[in-house]
Chain A
Amino acid sequence: MYCTQCGSPRPDGATACPSCGHPVQQFAAYAAPAAPGSVPNYLVQSILVTLCCCLPAGIVAIVYAAQVNSKLNAGDIAGAEEASRNAKLWSWIGFGVGILVIVIWAVAGGLAGISDAAK
């Protein structure tokens, strides 16, 4: 690395140029892309809920899941965590409604069977 002010070499990690004293600007703390897997995206769960539980809630979950990694890439960790929570929430809503429909379906089928048997 070379000093942006006087052009003399300076050691990595130095906070000021040893030759002219020009301070080294630190930009690393701003919007560095975060590790891709550090916030779970729930993409697989969202696809499974959309395809298996037959509910548009899965689509909402997919859109939030997609936002997680875009935001992580932009260094917006708080935004990614928010999107991750929403993706998880909507996956569970879709899953819950799917299970509920199956239970209602089974109970209705059972009652129909009982009434058929009673005739």
Chain B
Amino acid sequence: MTPQSDPRRLLAVLGALCVGAAGVFVLYRFEPVTAGFYPQCLFHALTGLDCPGCGTARALHALLHGRLAAAFRFNPMLLLYAPVLLFGTADAARAFVTRTPLRNATTRPWLGWSVAVTIVGWWVVRNTPLWPH
């Protein structure tokens, strides 16, 4: 038996997909540092330090233009978790639309804890001279 999809939820996912596609287009077309209209990070503005997500827009822009090394330098977490995010988003959307459980790949206990450890570790390391700016 194939799970029945909820049409309203399907519509919501399609809407989110359009917003996402628009976001990807803007990120592809406009360079985050020179464009001037990208919002600043609140944590960075308040503390002067970088948060774990700082550089994600620059990294995505570099990634969309195929510059992998630059993307890694701006924010390695994006490249590291891109497969998890792509598969996980697709699976979460499928689970949401069909009202069925998530598949196993994103539900391994070690995955959640490695995400927590690597992101907190990255937050610390990036604010030391160890990481090139």
Contacts and interface: CB of A to CB of B under 8 A. Distances in A.
A binds B: yes
Interface of A: 35-38, 40-41, 43-48, 50-56, 58-59, 62-63, 65-70, 72-73, 97, 101-102, 105-106, 109
Given A38-B101, A41-B102, A62-B119, A53 B53 contact: yes
A55 B104 CA distance: 28
How many chain B residues sit at the interface, stated as a range, is 35 or more
Interface string B47-85: 000011110100000000000000000010110010011
B102 A47 contact: no
Q: Which 9 A-B pairs have the closest CB atoms?
A: A66-B112, A37-B101, A44-B88, A37-B102, A54-B41, A36-B107, A105-B39, A51-B53, A69-B109
Contact of B111 (A40, A43, A51, A59): A43
A59 B106 contact: no
Contacts of A55: 42-43, 51, 53
A102 B84 CA distance: 26
Nearest to B89: A44
A47 B44 contact: no
B29 interface: no
A85 to B, nearest CB: 16
Interface of B: 37, 39-44, 51-54, 56, 75, 77-78, 81, 84-85, 88-89, 92, 95, 101-104, 106-109, 111-113, 115-116, 119-120, 123
Contacts of B109: 66, 69-70, 73
A58 B43 CA distance: 12
A45 B108 CA distance: 16
Q: SS class of chain B's interface: helix, strand, loop or mixed?
A: helix
Given A69-B108, A70-B112, A109-B37, 14 more contacts: A36-B101, A36-B102, A37-B101, A37-B102, A41-B102, A44-B84, A45-B92, A47-B85, A51-B75, A59-B119, A65-B115, A66-B109, A70-B113, A101-B39
Given A50-B52, A51-B78, A54-B51, A59 B112 contact: no
Contact of B39 (A37, A43, A102): A102
A52 B75 CA distance: 11
